Protein backbone atom coordinates (compact mmCIF):
# COMPACT_ATOMS: atom_id res chain seq x y z
CA UNK A 1 0.00 0.00 0.00
CA UNK A 2 1.24 3.46 -0.81
CA UNK A 3 2.72 5.46 2.06
CA UNK A 4 1.74 8.75 0.43
CA UNK A 5 -1.31 10.35 2.06
CA UNK A 6 -4.42 10.13 -0.12
CA UNK A 7 -4.85 13.89 -0.67
CA UNK A 8 -1.18 14.38 -1.52
CA UNK A 9 -1.32 11.49 -3.98
CA UNK A 10 -4.34 13.04 -5.66
CA UNK A 11 -2.52 16.34 -5.97
CA UNK A 12 0.53 14.62 -7.42
CA UNK A 13 -1.73 13.07 -10.05
CA UNK A 14 -3.32 16.44 -10.69
CA UNK A 15 0.08 17.97 -11.26
CA UNK A 16 0.24 16.37 -14.67
CA UNK A 17 -3.24 17.42 -15.66
CA UNK A 18 -2.74 20.89 -17.05
CA UNK A 19 0.90 21.91 -16.71
CA UNK A 20 1.41 25.37 -15.36
CA UNK A 21 -1.92 25.37 -13.63
CA UNK A 22 -2.02 25.70 -9.86
CA UNK A 23 -2.83 22.40 -8.26
CA UNK A 24 -5.08 23.88 -5.65
CA UNK A 25 -8.36 23.74 -7.56
CA UNK A 26 -10.86 21.02 -6.89
CA UNK A 27 -11.37 20.75 -10.65
CA UNK A 28 -7.90 19.27 -10.93
CA UNK A 29 -8.70 16.68 -8.30
CA UNK A 30 -11.78 15.68 -10.29
CA UNK A 31 -9.67 15.37 -13.42
CA UNK A 32 -7.10 13.31 -11.56
CA UNK A 33 -9.83 10.98 -10.30
CA UNK A 34 -11.24 10.61 -13.81
CA UNK A 35 -7.80 9.87 -15.22
CA UNK A 36 -7.25 7.19 -12.65
CA UNK A 37 -10.59 5.59 -13.50
CA UNK A 38 -9.82 5.77 -17.22
CA UNK A 39 -6.37 4.24 -16.73
CA UNK A 40 -8.02 1.34 -14.90
CA UNK A 41 -10.52 0.99 -17.79
CA UNK A 42 -13.34 1.33 -15.28
CA UNK A 43 -17.02 0.95 -16.04
CA UNK A 44 -19.54 2.84 -13.92
CA UNK A 45 -20.47 6.32 -12.77
CA UNK A 46 -18.60 8.97 -10.83
CA UNK A 47 -21.39 10.85 -9.01
CA UNK A 48 -21.22 14.54 -8.13
CA UNK A 49 -23.12 16.55 -5.56
CA UNK A 50 -23.10 20.10 -4.29
CA UNK A 51 -23.35 23.09 -6.61
CA UNK A 52 -24.23 20.90 -9.54
CA UNK A 53 -25.44 17.35 -9.15
CA UNK A 54 -24.95 14.64 -11.72
CA UNK A 55 -22.48 12.07 -12.87
CA UNK A 56 -19.91 11.10 -15.46
CA UNK A 57 -20.37 7.60 -16.85
CA UNK A 58 -17.48 5.51 -18.10
CA UNK A 59 -17.33 2.26 -20.02
CA UNK A 60 -13.94 0.58 -20.24
CA UNK A 61 -12.37 3.90 -19.30
CA UNK A 62 -14.08 5.89 -22.05
CA UNK A 63 -16.72 8.52 -21.37
CA UNK A 64 -20.12 7.32 -22.55
CA UNK A 65 -22.38 9.86 -20.87
CA UNK A 66 -22.48 12.80 -18.46
CA UNK A 67 -25.35 14.66 -16.92
CA UNK A 68 -25.67 17.62 -14.62
CA UNK A 69 -28.66 19.17 -12.90
CA UNK A 70 -27.49 22.55 -14.26
CA UNK A 71 -27.38 21.59 -17.96
CA UNK A 72 -30.14 20.29 -20.23
CA UNK A 73 -30.00 16.58 -20.92
CA UNK A 74 -30.36 15.17 -24.37
CA UNK A 75 -33.56 13.42 -23.39
CA UNK A 76 -35.43 16.64 -22.62
CA UNK A 77 -36.18 16.99 -26.31
CA UNK A 78 -34.51 13.94 -27.75
CA UNK A 79 -34.02 13.30 -31.43
CA UNK A 80 -37.58 14.35 -32.11
CA UNK A 81 -36.67 17.88 -31.04
CA UNK A 82 -34.02 17.83 -33.76
CA UNK A 83 -36.52 16.67 -36.32
CA UNK A 84 -34.89 13.25 -36.37
CA UNK A 85 -36.39 9.82 -35.94
CA UNK A 86 -34.84 6.75 -34.33
CA UNK A 87 -33.38 5.75 -37.72
CA UNK A 88 -30.87 8.59 -37.34
CA UNK A 89 -29.12 6.53 -34.67
CA UNK A 90 -27.89 3.98 -37.24
CA UNK A 91 -24.58 4.48 -39.01
CA UNK A 92 -24.86 6.28 -42.36
CA UNK A 93 -24.82 4.22 -45.50
CA UNK A 94 -26.98 3.13 -48.44
CA UNK A 95 -29.61 1.68 -46.10
CA UNK A 96 -29.00 4.00 -43.18
CA UNK A 97 -29.64 7.67 -42.57
CA UNK A 98 -27.98 10.47 -44.50
CA UNK A 99 -24.62 11.53 -43.03
CA UNK A 100 -25.88 14.88 -41.74
CA UNK A 101 -28.83 13.30 -39.92
CA UNK A 102 -26.58 10.73 -38.32
CA UNK A 103 -23.94 13.31 -37.41
CA UNK A 104 -26.55 15.60 -35.88
CA UNK A 105 -27.86 12.76 -33.75
CA UNK A 106 -24.40 11.71 -32.56
CA UNK A 107 -23.46 15.35 -31.94
CA UNK A 108 -26.57 15.87 -29.81
CA UNK A 109 -25.44 13.09 -27.47
CA UNK A 110 -21.82 14.23 -27.37
CA UNK A 111 -22.70 17.90 -26.86
CA UNK A 112 -24.96 17.07 -23.91
CA UNK A 113 -22.17 15.03 -22.33
CA UNK A 114 -19.46 17.66 -22.89
CA UNK A 115 -21.74 20.44 -21.62
CA UNK A 116 -22.52 18.49 -18.46
CA UNK A 117 -18.88 17.53 -17.91
CA UNK A 118 -17.84 21.18 -18.29
CA UNK A 119 -20.35 22.16 -15.63
CA UNK A 120 -19.36 19.40 -13.22
CA UNK A 121 -15.64 20.01 -13.56
CA UNK A 122 -15.97 23.81 -13.36
CA UNK A 123 -18.53 24.16 -10.57
CA UNK A 124 -18.06 23.69 -6.87
CA UNK A 125 -19.40 20.14 -7.06
CA UNK A 126 -17.70 17.36 -5.15
CA UNK A 127 -17.36 13.84 -6.41
CA UNK A 128 -18.45 10.87 -4.36
CA UNK A 129 -17.58 7.19 -4.41
CA UNK A 130 -17.38 5.62 -7.87
CA UNK A 131 -20.31 3.32 -8.57
CA UNK A 132 -19.09 0.41 -10.71
CA UNK A 133 -21.35 -1.08 -13.33
CA UNK A 134 -23.80 1.82 -13.31
CA UNK A 135 -24.24 2.62 -17.00
CA UNK A 136 -26.51 5.02 -18.86
CA UNK A 137 -29.79 3.95 -20.38
CA UNK A 138 -29.68 2.51 -23.87
CA UNK A 139 -29.69 5.18 -26.55
CA UNK A 140 -28.04 7.79 -24.33
CA UNK A 141 -24.46 6.73 -24.83
CA UNK A 142 -21.69 8.47 -26.72
CA UNK A 143 -18.11 7.23 -26.85
CA UNK A 144 -15.44 9.80 -26.11
CA UNK A 145 -11.86 9.14 -24.98
CA UNK A 146 -11.34 10.85 -21.61
CA UNK A 147 -8.35 12.90 -22.82
CA UNK A 148 -10.40 14.22 -25.75
CA UNK A 149 -13.18 15.25 -23.35
CA UNK A 150 -10.74 16.96 -20.98
CA UNK A 151 -9.09 18.85 -23.84
CA UNK A 152 -12.48 20.08 -25.02
CA UNK A 153 -13.55 21.03 -21.49
CA UNK A 154 -10.36 23.03 -21.00
CA UNK A 155 -10.83 24.77 -24.37
CA UNK A 156 -14.36 25.77 -23.34
CA UNK A 157 -13.12 27.05 -20.00
CA UNK A 158 -10.70 29.34 -21.84
CA UNK A 159 -13.52 30.63 -24.06
CA UNK A 160 -15.72 31.23 -21.00
CA UNK A 161 -12.88 33.15 -19.33
CA UNK A 162 -12.88 35.48 -22.34
CA UNK A 163 -16.63 35.98 -22.01
CA UNK A 164 -16.65 36.38 -18.24
CA UNK A 165 -16.16 40.20 -18.17
CA UNK A 166 -19.28 40.53 -20.34
CA UNK A 167 -21.58 37.59 -19.72
CA UNK A 168 -21.68 34.23 -17.97
CA UNK A 169 -24.28 31.49 -18.12
CA UNK A 170 -25.93 33.00 -15.04
CA UNK A 171 -25.85 36.70 -16.00
CA UNK A 172 -29.29 38.24 -16.22
CA UNK A 173 -29.91 39.75 -19.65
CA UNK A 174 -32.71 41.99 -20.90
CA UNK A 175 -33.99 42.80 -24.36
CA UNK A 176 -33.15 46.27 -25.62
CA UNK A 177 -36.17 48.38 -26.41
CA UNK A 178 -34.29 50.31 -29.09
CA UNK A 179 -31.95 48.92 -31.71
CA UNK A 180 -28.57 50.52 -32.29
CA UNK A 181 -28.78 49.95 -36.05
CA UNK A 182 -31.58 50.77 -38.48
CA UNK A 183 -31.82 47.12 -39.46
CA UNK A 184 -30.33 43.87 -38.22
CA UNK A 185 -30.49 40.26 -39.30
CA UNK A 186 -30.62 37.43 -36.80
CA UNK A 187 -30.51 33.69 -37.27
CA UNK A 188 -33.41 31.41 -36.43
CA UNK A 189 -31.68 30.38 -33.24
CA UNK A 190 -31.00 33.97 -32.21
CA UNK A 191 -34.64 34.81 -32.84
CA UNK A 192 -35.83 31.89 -30.74
CA UNK A 193 -33.60 33.14 -27.93
CA UNK A 194 -34.77 36.74 -28.27
CA UNK A 195 -38.45 35.90 -28.03
CA UNK A 196 -37.83 33.94 -24.84
CA UNK A 197 -35.97 36.69 -22.99
CA UNK A 198 -38.17 37.68 -20.07
CA UNK A 199 -37.47 39.20 -16.66
CA UNK A 200 -34.60 37.35 -15.03
CA UNK A 201 -33.55 35.54 -18.21
CA UNK A 202 -30.11 33.92 -18.23
CA UNK A 203 -28.25 31.88 -20.81
CA UNK A 204 -28.64 28.82 -18.59
CA UNK A 205 -32.40 29.30 -18.35
CA UNK A 206 -32.71 29.86 -22.09
CA UNK A 207 -30.63 26.76 -22.77
CA UNK A 208 -33.00 24.72 -20.60
CA UNK A 209 -36.02 26.10 -22.46
CA UNK A 210 -34.55 25.29 -25.85
CA UNK A 211 -32.83 22.07 -24.79
CA UNK A 212 -29.51 23.39 -26.08
CA UNK A 213 -26.08 23.35 -24.52
CA UNK A 214 -25.44 26.00 -21.89
CA UNK A 215 -22.02 26.73 -23.40
CA UNK A 216 -23.39 27.25 -26.92
CA UNK A 217 -26.28 29.34 -25.64
CA UNK A 218 -23.95 31.56 -23.60
CA UNK A 219 -21.94 32.27 -26.76
CA UNK A 220 -25.11 33.01 -28.71
CA UNK A 221 -26.31 35.38 -25.96
CA UNK A 222 -22.95 37.11 -26.20
CA UNK A 223 -23.47 37.57 -29.96
CA UNK A 224 -26.87 39.14 -29.29
CA UNK A 225 -25.16 41.51 -26.85
CA UNK A 226 -22.62 42.38 -29.56
CA UNK A 227 -25.49 43.10 -31.97
CA UNK A 228 -26.99 45.41 -29.35
CA UNK A 229 -30.21 43.41 -29.13
CA UNK A 230 -29.63 42.38 -25.51
CA UNK A 231 -28.13 44.18 -22.55
CA UNK A 232 -26.32 42.87 -19.52
CA UNK A 233 -25.47 44.82 -16.36
CA UNK A 234 -22.35 46.92 -16.95
CA UNK A 235 -22.08 46.09 -20.65
CA UNK A 236 -22.64 48.78 -23.25
CA UNK A 237 -22.14 47.68 -26.84
CA UNK A 238 -21.12 51.23 -27.78
CA UNK A 239 -18.26 51.07 -25.31
CA UNK A 240 -17.23 47.51 -26.09
CA UNK A 241 -13.53 46.99 -25.73
CA UNK A 242 -11.16 44.76 -27.66
CA UNK A 243 -11.16 42.04 -25.06
CA UNK A 244 -14.93 41.85 -25.31
CA UNK A 245 -14.53 39.99 -28.60
CA UNK A 246 -14.76 36.26 -28.10
CA UNK A 247 -12.21 34.38 -30.15
CA UNK A 248 -11.82 30.63 -30.50
CA UNK A 249 -8.37 31.10 -32.03
CA UNK A 250 -7.28 33.13 -28.99
CA UNK A 251 -8.55 30.32 -26.76
CA UNK A 252 -6.59 27.81 -28.88
CA UNK A 253 -3.48 29.99 -28.64
CA UNK A 254 -3.64 29.88 -24.85
CA UNK A 255 -3.36 26.10 -24.97
CA UNK A 256 -0.59 24.91 -22.76
Partner 1 sequence: MILPEADGLLAPIMDIDGFRLACLIDASTGMVLAAQQDQADIGLPAAAAGATDIANVLALLNGRMATGESLEDVIVTFSSSLYMVRPIRRDPDPQILLLVILDRLRTNLAMARRSIRDFCVSFAS
Interface ranges with partner 1 (CB under 8 A): 91-92, 98-100, 103-104, 106-107, 110-111, 114, 143-145, 148-149, 152, 155-156, 159, 181, 183-190, 213, 215-216, 219-220, 223, 226-227, 247-249, 251-253, 255
- Least Å from the CB of residue 249 to partner 1: 4
- Least Å from the CB of residue 23 to partner 1: 24
- Least Å from the CB of residue 153 to partner 1: 11
Q: Is 5 exposed, middle or buried (0-12, 13-18, 19+ CB in 10 A)?
A: exposed
- Least Å from the CB of residue 5 to partner 1: 36
When the beta carbons of 85 and 99 are compared against partner 1, the nearer one is 99
When the beta carbons of 171 and 190 are compared against partner 1, the nearer one is 190
Contact 74, 84 (CB under 8 A): no
When the beta carbons of 49 and 60 are compared against partner 1, the nearer one is 60
When the beta carbons of 9 and 21 are compared against partner 1, the nearer one is 21
- Least Å from the CB of residue 144 to partner 1: 6
Ramachandran angles phi, psi of 70, nearest 5°: -100, 5
- Least Å from the CB of residue 172 to partner 1: 22
When the beta carbons of 2 and 181 are compared against partner 1, the nearer one is 181
In a 13 Å sphere around the CA of 10, the CA atoms on its Cβ side amount to: 15
When the beta carbons of 61 and 134 are compared against partner 1, the nearer one is 61
Give CA–CA dist 2/195, Å, rounded: 58
Amino acid sequence: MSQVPKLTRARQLAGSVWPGRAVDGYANLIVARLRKLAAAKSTGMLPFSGHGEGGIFLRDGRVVHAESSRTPGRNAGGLAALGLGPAAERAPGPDGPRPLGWLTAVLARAEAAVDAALDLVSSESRYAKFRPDEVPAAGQACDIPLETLLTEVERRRRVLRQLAPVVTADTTVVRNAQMTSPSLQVSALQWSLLVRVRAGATARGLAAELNRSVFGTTIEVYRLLALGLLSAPGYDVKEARDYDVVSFIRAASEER
